[in-house]
Amino acid sequence: PPVVPGHILDGLNPEQGRAVKSPSRAVVIQAGPGTGKTRTLTARIAWLLRENKAAPENILALTFTNKAAGELADRIESFIPQGGQLVTAATFHGFCLQMLKRYSDFKRGLMEDDLRLEVLARAAKAVTGEKKVPKRIVSKLDAWISRQKQQLKEPGDERQGDATDNAIEDFDPIWPEVYEAYDRTLQERGLADFEDLIFICFRLFSQDAGLLEQVREQYKFIFVDEYQDLNLGQYRLVRLLAENSHIFVIGDPDQSIYGFRGSDSRFFNRFEQDFPGCEKIRLRQNYRSTQTILDASFQVICTGDEVKNEAHKIYASVDGKQKISINETAGESAEAVAVGKIIEKGVGGLSFLSMDKGTGPDSGGDREYAFSDFAVLYRTRQQALAFVKAFEKAGIPFQTADREHWIHMAGIKDLLALVRIFLNRGSDADRQQFAQFLPGIEALSDPVDTSALLGTLGGWLDIAALGQTDEKLAAAWQRLNTLADRYPSPCDLLDALRLDQDPDFLDKRVEKVSLMTIHAAKGLEFPVVFLTGCENGMIPFARDGKSVEDPDEERRLFYVAMTRAKEMLYLTYARKRRIFGREQQRIRSCFVDDIETELARYKKAKKRVKKQKSRDIQLELF
């Protein structure tokens, strides 16, 4: 369809319009959630294209999740049907992999986590001469090595073993040597880890001036969403590429939630120094949430800090007086069941604000809802389990935002293990999986020719799909098949899976409830949001049940979760929860207590607790 003149700028407020049409080479928008930052970024890209100020292949838009990258691409295409798809919209990791494949002979395959830990444990054993290295140490080493790569430190970097490193519990001066051994193995075996992508790409660009010039020449217009989440490697990469380009970034330091991956919002705060003369724009109108949701979320993020509060003021433009619903339940199963019931009520067009049957003057649900209007958010992936069970039982359609759910299904898992083994990326777990799968294949009528296994991926899928009758599994196969069609080789498919690049995830058009971690919900919005597991130890999260690593980051996470809600927000918690197989008493999250009681309705769990059947939860699903 032809582009309607003015369409791109329609409805934007003056500040948004100013950002879209800014003549400055460098523009930074700092604004709170739901103020239309991403929408403004998209509009600027569309506007530059429509005004012929930029060609689509000159535009690079970097984001943090595939979902965000996909949405960006979709929105640009809807504005600019011709050429819009030539814009590069990708995650940092996805973009770097693309660059490496295009401009170097990079043939290394991305490892899954279990293989990475295996290689690392072996390297640690070889270097230390120990027969066994405790899991705890391997995981610390793993985090440390990731951090080295995020900070662009090679093995043996003279900065290693400095005061920061020595402050790490269990740090051992031998770690740099393990890093070196680990990295050597990766090179020899043609493997790469996640952090390698940015590191190797950065190295490639900074060591090859000609190539860098070529890439800079191509990406004359650089856009970065969620700039507050950059880590050092990503920051240096952006600065390298944006030396003479136009750069447009948006961010909100209050939503910085990747500190555990080395992100540092100070890079965002430095933008004005890094790009002197840049234009800085603030947006103050929120178009997403009701005033109540905004007020409550500010109480959590500002905690009575008046100065901060003033700087953060943004105004709701959405009507709605529903209070925040704070609901206690008996246990994790009860929590999931209760959430399911509310959803059923909403979809049935019934009042559903309260978890009880009350229909007071302010009970909610004044319109009919679709399943896709609801999102269930949680801090840790394991929490999904109770919801998956409850929703399956109740027949509530749902989708999980991450690949974990379907790639771990028997059948899918078998096949992927098989592919990895043949591509020399198999872990011990893969080999065990394969051994079990083999009798399955042999049971098929035709003898399986192993050379066929090395043929086209489509062929493999056909072989393995023969045995699949299960409806749910069939859907997963279908998904894998469609995905396989999009990639030139099994290797590329595995890389894409590792990067979580399935564009079908979280398709908005699907009539399903979305289940996802708070991290995955970043940048998204839903009419009704359930933030579940609002308990101390869960959010704020404490790995060992006691100490919270970064309380401020946990608070920001809580804030991010709350601000996903458009009309209604539920904060739910369980009085008891099964943690590591043991039932524990839980205490409501301290963040919930920062919300003024006038803004909320409180619902207590029933006193009589039915015995929970949490024993039959099948952990192997995850």
Report the candidate in 361, 291, 349, 338 with the shortest Cα–Cα distance to residue 319: 291
- Choose between 44 and 575: whose C-beta lies nearer to ligand ATP: 44
Q: Which partner, Mg ion, ligand ATP, none, binds residue 72 by CB below 5 to 8 Å per kind?
A: none
Which among 8-16, 241-249, 358-366, 608-616 is the span making contact with ligand ATP, rule CB under 6 A?
A: 8-16
Instruction: State in angstroms the smallest separation of the CB of 566 from Mg ion.
Output: 14
Instruction: State in angstroms the smallest separation of the CB of 59 from Mg ion.
Output: 18
Q: Is the peptide bond before 540 cis (omega within 30 degrees of 0)?
A: yes
Instruction: State in angstroms the smallest separation of the CB of 558 from Mg ion.
Output: 18
- Choose between 33 and 233: whose C-beta lies nearer to Mg ion: 33
Cβ contact 267:235 at 8 Å? yes
Cα–Cα distance measured from residue 549 to residue 323, given in angstroms and rounded to the nearest whole number: 31
Q: Which partner, Mg ion, ligand ATP, none, binds residue 288 by CB below 5 to 8 Å per kind?
A: ligand ATP
* Binding-site residue set for ATP: 31-38
Cα–Cα distance measured from residue 557 to residue 258, given in angstroms and rounded to the nearest whole number: 9
Q: How big is the site for Mg ion, counted in residues (CB under 5 A)?
A: 3
Which residue is nearest to Mg ion, using beta carbons?
38
* Rg of the chain taking only CA atoms, in angstroms: 25
Is the C-alpha dihedral spanning 146, 150, 151, 152 positive or negative?
positive
Q: Which partner, ligand ATP, Mg ion, none, binds residue 498 by CB below 5 to 8 Å per kind?
A: none
Instruction: State in angstroms the smallest separation of the CB of 225 from Mg ion.
Output: 6
Cβ contact 569:516 at 8 Å? no
- Choose between 16 and 399: whose C-beta lies nearer to ligand ATP: 16
Cβ contact 29:37 at 8 Å? yes
Cα–Cα distance measured from residue 237 to residue 206, given in angstroms and rounded to the nearest whole number: 9
One-letter amino acid at 250 equals I
- Choose between 35 and 231: whose C-beta lies nearer to Mg ion: 35
Cβ contact 299:590 at 8 Å? no
Binding mask 503-532 for ligand ATP (x = CB under 6 A): --------------------x-x-------
Element of type H or E holding 181: helix 175-189
315 binds ligand ATP (CB under 6 A): no
256 binds Mg ion (CB under 5 A): no
- Choose between 146 and 517: whose C-beta lies nearer to Mg ion: 517
Binding mask 46-65 for ligand ATP (x = CB under 6 A): --------------------
- Choose between 64 and 267: whose C-beta lies nearer to ligand ATP: 64
- Choose between 58 and 63: whose C-beta lies nearer to ligand ATP: 63
The token duo for 303 is 């905690």
Q: Which partner, ligand ATP, Mg ion, none, binds residue 44 by CB below 5 to 8 Å per kind?
A: none
Which residue is nearest to ligand ATP, using beta carbons?
36
523 binds Mg ion (CB under 5 A): yes
Which among 29-37, 192-200, 375-383, 397-405 is the span making contact with Mg ion, rule CB under 5 A?
A: 29-37
Q: Of residues 16, 30, 35, 38, which one binds Mg ion by CB under 5 A?
A: 38
- Choose between 223 and 298: whose C-beta lies nearer to Mg ion: 223
Q: Of 16-45, which residues contact ligand ATP (CB under 6 A)?
A: 16, 31, 33-39
**CB-based burial label for 93 (10 Å; 0-12, 13-18, 19+):** buried
Report the candidate in 160, 230, 157 with the shortest Cα–Cα distance to residue 198: 230
Q: Of residues 79, 92, 205, 287, which one binds ligand ATP by CB under 6 A?
A: 287
Q: Is the peptide bond before 276 cis (omega within 30 degrees of 0)?
A: no
DSSP lists the bridge partners of residue 28 as 249, 280
- Residue 226 contacts by C-beta under 8 Å, 6 or more apart in sequence? 63, 64, 68, 250, 251, 255, 522, 523
Cβ contact 268:230 at 8 Å? yes
Report the candidate in 277, 194, 263 with the shortest Cα–Cα distance to residue 235: 263
Nearest 5°: the CA angle 246, 248, 251 is 160
- Choose between 402 and 525: whose C-beta lies nearer to ligand ATP: 525
Q: Which partner, Mg ion, ligand ATP, none, binds residue 468 by CB below 5 to 8 Å per kind?
A: none
612 binds ligand ATP (CB under 6 A): no
Q: How big is the site for ligand ATP, counted in residues (CB under 6 A)?
A: 18
Report the candidate in 134, 96, 118, 65 with the shortest Cα–Cα distance to residue 420: 118
- The gap from C-alpha 390 to its chain's centroid, in whole angstroms, comes to 24
Cα–Cα distance measured from residue 342 to residue 509, given in angstroms and rounded to the nearest whole number: 21
DSSP lists the bridge partners of residue 376 as 515, 530
- Choose between 38 and 589: whose C-beta lies nearer to ligand ATP: 38
One-letter amino acid at 140 equals K
Q: Of 239-268, which residues contact ligand ATP (CB under 6 A)?
A: 252, 255
Cβ contact 566:525 at 8 Å? yes
11 binds ligand ATP (CB under 6 A): yes
Which among 35-43, 124-132, 376-384, 411-419 is the span making contact with Mg ion, rule CB under 5 A?
A: 35-43
70 binds ligand ATP (CB under 6 A): no
Q: What residues line the site for ligand ATP (CB under 6 A)?
A: 11-13, 16, 31, 33-39, 252, 255, 287-288, 523, 525
Q: What residues line the site for Mg ion (CB under 5 A)?
A: 37-38, 523
